[in-house]
Chains A and B, each alone.
Chain A
Amino acid sequence: MPDALQAVLAAAAPASASILLAAMGGAVNRQGGIVNVGLEAKMLVGAFVAVICGAATSSSALGALAAAAAGALVGSAFSLVVTRLGANEIVAGLGLNLAAVGLFGYLLPVVFGVSATLSPPGLVGLPLLRIPLLDAVPFLGPVLSGHDPLTYVSWMVVPLTWLLLYRTTWGVSLRATGADEEAARAAGIRTLLLRDLSTAWAGALAGLAGAQLSLGLVQLFNKQMTGGRGFIALAAFYFGDARPGLTALAALVFGVFEAASFRLQGGELAPQLVQMLPYLAVVASLLVVGARRRRLRRRRELTPEPGR
């Protein structure tokens, strides 16, 4: 049993890295007041650009950087439509996802002559890093060591996000923008610009998440390789109320679900039922929060004035 657990956890670390990266970006974006439904598209773009640039430069690091840049670019464009043209972010996000899926579905056969999977020659994956001392620790060693660099980046992004949101003026202004845009604008904050920057940041992290999929987990691009991870990231930051710690925790737990559901294939418990869990968790948590808020409100409203 410990062996199986260790195996699941060791698999969960890289499996959750892309969800974690995208969710942290989404959380920042959410704090700024935009629900980013288009993370999926930016991950897909990142995955594609990482493979193309990685192969062209024979460098997985350059591939990952290009993926982040591409994600930020797509994120900025998306943001402008939302912040400057007043587009509803949910519908626009769903549209962006569809357009991205369509674009790669078209490009792969037309430009690259493959139906769904692209693996250009010269493509190098991300190396696996063994961390010297940690490696030797029993049980934890294999869980924490021996992953691709982007998995470690995903871990480092968690405290970075916290610092960004709570220890920079930028973060304070961003949170103010998300909580009460009118008040923030009255305080002289350029709220639209901040929103755009937060969406670009979310796009960059989603792009990195894509690169982790196409250069870390595997070394190829498939038009369906994101497989709903953008939405699981959405589930994670919703479940975590867009707070860095809780969001990260949710992303990691969802990563464990995913790693587990792979191992369940052909087993007794259907993988679909496990894959449902993140979505159900979000719905359940929203209901719990709503119910608690309602109870609190009712208690306040119906308290008669203390006797006089």
Chain B
Amino acid sequence: MSAPRIGLRGIVKRYGPIVANDRVDLDVAAGGIHAVVGENGAGKTTLMRIIAGLVEPDAGRYELDGRPVRLRGPADAIRRGIGMVHQRFQLVEELSALENLVLGATPGRLRFDRRAARTAARRLAEQLAAELDWEAPVAQLSVGQRQRLEIMRLLYRRADILIFDEPTSVLTPGEAELLFGIMRRLAADGRTILFITHKLPEVFAVAQHVTVMRRGRVVATSAVADTDPRQVGRQMVGEDLTPPDLRPSGRVGRPVLALREVSATGGRGEPRLRRVSFEVAEGEIVGVAGVEGNGQRELVEVVMGLRQPAGGEILLDGRPCGHRGVRERRDLGVAFISEDRDGEGASLDATIADNAVATAYRRPPLARAGLLSPGRVRRATEDLIRRFGVQGGRPGAPARVLSGGNLQRLVVGRELSRVPRLLVAAHPTRGVDLRGTVFIRQQLHRAREAGAAILLVSEEIVELLELCDRIVVLYRGRITADLPVARVTAERLGALMAGLAA
């Protein structure tokens, strides 16, 4: 048998204390579709970025056709025929599609030959059976068109290994089908396709091989024909998690948050939330399940007052508050754990103390009559550090010194230092280590038992099933299911999130 197109031997990549890839071995045969699956934080993307030359491994060997290589950046990778279609497209929105196609592809030539470029563009478009307006700025193209442009760009540079990073997360089902068609055609032409996803139906629809990753390691690689979704699902989640008992006590009180037919639109005016209605009551955790990009972000923003709803009503304790700002809502007892940890949740440049009091600095005991007491700020921070087990920094140090897990403990501690009326928690354990994850889930549970209403947005099925009283499923901006947790199984939830069954 000939050497695999791509061979990885013992690849290690660390980010600070986090091991993103732990002695990874992987063989990818030429001319086929090879899926890489795993939960968030399993290390798939890091591995693909290593293959695409965007990240250098700390240790291990990288072989192409059996020969070891060392890539010096993405440009070097593309010269060797390796290209990546990123989740966030690497297109320049202000430039036309045609200009994006040739961008950087012919460094030696001065003249930009529009005619030749257009001919090549037309040929590529034919090859993919995808037409688009080449003179339009990319900003005007649809998401699917942009993705096809990205693919054509790699083909224009003669890439024969194409890496797709969760390519369907931004696509409509119709567009996803179109994409699968393109992938099959590329594979049939002898190109090698690597395909990252966490949607198992997609794996079984297009791939010939599947590699499962968990916690930075490769757990299994098999031919798709030799396995089934159930087995792969088990391999993804693993059995090493013994969850503490976080069952709700079931004492649910009056509704705190109520959404009535709430709609919201995205930056280009496209609808992101469509007439969403549900309630969250005292002592209840309501989970919002859904694959990223189905309106979760907009939902959270609308509830927090960070985004104006385009229609509908939002009630807090029975009072309409769709027009109120963040501060007013926080004053009504709303707390917020943002998914945007280095940004909305915390600031790496600010000190730990600044981060710790960022939402409480106006209130006694920290401040009176607009005067802030630095001594009390320091003591409050030390108190928080102790109570929530934040390790690795003093109050005056920049938050940058904290690990991701400890930073999130700080944020959770800040938001839960008083029991809120309503807690909005978006992906609170994403990228957090196991101990931190358990700790954060316990904190959410404790807040619920103290009477808080909690809206938990998450993609992790385990987390949702473990913590929630009820689960609503958000799919393409709509609530497609609203079920008590007792009536949900992992398989059913997965299917609902993928928009498969009702």
Interface membership of B140, Cβ < 8 A: no
B328 CB to nearest A CB, Å: 20
Is the CB–CB distance between A169 and B107 below 8 Å?
A: yes
B103's partner among A167, A168, A176 (CB-CB below 8 A) is A176
**A171-B112, A186-B74, A187-B90 known; A305 vs B99 contact (CB < 8 Å):** no
Q: A189 to B105, alpha carbons, bound, how many Å? A: 9
B458 CB to nearest A CB, Å: 26
Bits for A182-209, please: 1 = Cβ < 8 Å to B, else 0.
1110111100000000000000000000
Bits for B266-277, please: 1 = Cβ < 8 Å to A, else 0.
011101001100
Q: Assign chain B's interface to a size class.
A: 20 to 34
Is the CB–CB distance between B310 and A304 below 8 Å?
A: yes
**Cβ contacts under 8 Å, B268 to chain A:** 300
**Cβ contacts under 8 Å, B463 to chain A:** none
Is the CB–CB distance between B95 and A176 below 8 Å?
A: yes
**Cβ contacts under 8 Å, A170 to chain B:** 110
Is the CB–CB distance between A169 and B102 below 8 Å?
A: yes
**Cβ contacts under 8 Å, B100 to chain A:** 176
Q: A301 to B274, alpha carbons, bound, how many Å? A: 13
**A168-B112, A170-B110, A184-B92 known; A189 vs B308 contact (CB < 8 Å):** no
B interface majority secondary structure: loop
Q: Assign chain A's interface to a size class.
A: 20 to 34
Is the CB–CB distance between A179 and B92 below 8 Å?
A: yes
A interface majority secondary structure: helix
Interface membership of A273, Cβ < 8 A: no
Q: A303 to B90, alpha carbons, bound, how many Å? A: 29
Q: A299 to B269, alpha carbons, bound, how many Å? A: 8
A175's partner among B90, B94, B263 (CB-CB below 8 A) is B94
B157 CB to nearest A CB, Å: 9
Is the CB–CB distance between B310 and A305 below 8 Å?
A: yes
Taking CB as reference atom, which chain B residue is nearest A305? B271
Taking CB as reference atom, which chain A residue is nearest B104? A187
Interface membership of A173, Cβ < 8 A: yes
A289 CB to nearest B CB, Å: 15
Interface membership of B78, Cβ < 8 A: yes
Interface membership of B109, Cβ < 8 A: yes
Interface membership of A81, Cβ < 8 A: no
A99 CB to nearest B CB, Å: 31
Bits for B185-226, please: 1 = Cβ < 8 Å to A, else 0.
000000000000000000000000000000000000000000
Is the CB–CB distance between A305 and B263 below 8 Å?
A: yes
Is the CB–CB distance between B74 and A303 below 8 Å?
A: no
Is the CB–CB distance between B112 and A305 below 8 Å?
A: no
B120 CB to nearest A CB, Å: 14
Q: A75 to B35, alpha carbons, bound, how many Å? A: 50
**Cβ contacts under 8 Å, A308 to chain B:** 274-275
Instruction: List which A273-306 residues lie within 8 A (CB) of chain B.
Output: 297, 299-305
Q: A297 to B268, alpha carbons, bound, how many Å? A: 8
**Cβ contacts under 8 Å, B107 to chain A:** 169, 188-189
**Cβ contacts under 8 Å, A305 to chain B:** 263, 265, 271, 274-275, 310-311
Is the CB–CB distance between A176 and B99 below 8 Å?
A: yes
**A186-B74, A189-B104, A301-B269 known; A172 vs B311 contact (CB < 8 Å):** no
Taking CB as reference atom, which chain B residue is nearest A300? B269
Interface membership of B496, Cβ < 8 A: no
**Cβ contacts under 8 Å, A175 to chain B:** 92, 94-95, 99
Instruction: List which B101-129 residues lie within 8 A (CB) of chain A.
Output: 102-107, 109-112, 114
Interface membership of B91, Cβ < 8 A: yes
B58 CB to nearest A CB, Å: 22
A188's partner among B78, B91, B308 (CB-CB below 8 A) is B78
Interface membership of B75, Cβ < 8 A: yes
Q: A179 to B137, alpha carbons, bound, how many Å? A: 12
Q: What are 24 inter-chain pairs, A to B, with CB distance below 8 A? A: A167-B112, A172-B103, A173-B103, A173-B104, A175-B94, A176-B99, A179-B93, A179-B94, A183-B90, A184-B92, A187-B103, A188-B78, A188-B104, A189-B103, A189-B107, A300-B265, A302-B308, A303-B310, A304-B263, A304-B311, A305-B265, A305-B275, A305-B311, A308-B274
**Which B residues are closer than 8 A to A by beta carbons?**
74-75, 78, 90-95, 99-100, 102-107, 109-112, 114, 153, 263, 265, 267-269, 271, 274-275, 308, 310-311
**Which A residues are closer than 8 A to B by beta carbons?**
166-173, 175-176, 179-180, 182-184, 186-189, 297, 299-305, 308
8 tightest Cβ-Cβ pairs between the two chains A and B:
A300-B269, A188-B75, A187-B104, A304-B311, A179-B94, A186-B90, A188-B104, A189-B104
